[in-house]
Amino acid sequence: MSSGRIGGSNFCFIIPPIQRLILIYFYICAQITAMQKRLVLDQKQIAITLDRFCHQLIENHDDFKDTVLLGLQPRGTLVLDRIVKRLKEISGIEVLSGYLDATFHRDDFRRRDMPLKANETKINFLIENKKVVLVDDVLFKGRSARAAMDAMIAFGRPQKVELMVLIDRKYTRDYPIIPNYYGRQVNTLESQYVGVEWKNQGFAEDAIWITEKEVKS
């Protein structure tokens, strides 16, 4: 039995068992949701990270005369577009860039229940003897980055290859690949997923979250 005061009068009321169970259920759901979704970078932090990337690139590649940037399809291209735009705003240089799809070069391409969907490669230049910066949103097991290095050879033999990612998921690598530039390193479990949301993709604002993967029944 619970008691309270309304309009200066004492009153007593009893919460029926079914309603009490419903309240407990919604409370538990709210707590689980809070535990399952954790913010890594918000919109302001992402903007700061992209600016830092640009200044690091300018410091390491000067006038970008011998440098090209390749965004890994599908999500790395969204990061690439922002970096190329910001580089032009900061330095006035329009860096040579393109989109690279490595679907058919993945070592798990024929090992999935559902075949991977390929995306378009947009590279209208050669990378022979160029410094290549591969851009992606999240580095997980390293398989996409490895496949990208195989895929880009079709456009020439690069002088050097660097990797840039917004999020580096530590301790999850299947291949010995380390990013040259990263926004944030995070410790994650296999059961977790790092999601990157962009405002121009329909989300409320730019944000990066760690969430629990849905368990398939």
Domain-embedded: residue 14: no
Distance CA 113, CA 181 (A): 33
Residue 66: pLDDT over 60: yes
Alpha carbon separation from 212 to 32, 37, 139, 159, 195 (Å, rounded): 10, 7, 17, 40, 10
- pTM for the whole thing? 0.81
Tens-digit pLDDT profile for residues 153-208: 999 999 999 999 999 999 999 999 999 999 999 999 988 999 999 999 999 999 99
Domain-embedded: residue 31: no
Q: Are 112 and 104 in contact (CB under 8 A)?
A: no
Q: Are 84 and 111 in contact (CB under 8 A)?
A: no
Domain-embedded: residue 34: no
CATH label of the domain that carries residue 179: 3.40.50.2020
pLDDT given at position 59? 98
Domain-embedded: residue 128: yes
Domain-embedded: residue 11: no
Domain-embedded: residue 104: yes
Distance CA 4, CA 22 (A): 21
Structural domain harbouring 148: 40-212
Total number of domains in the chain? 1
Domain-embedded: residue 80: yes
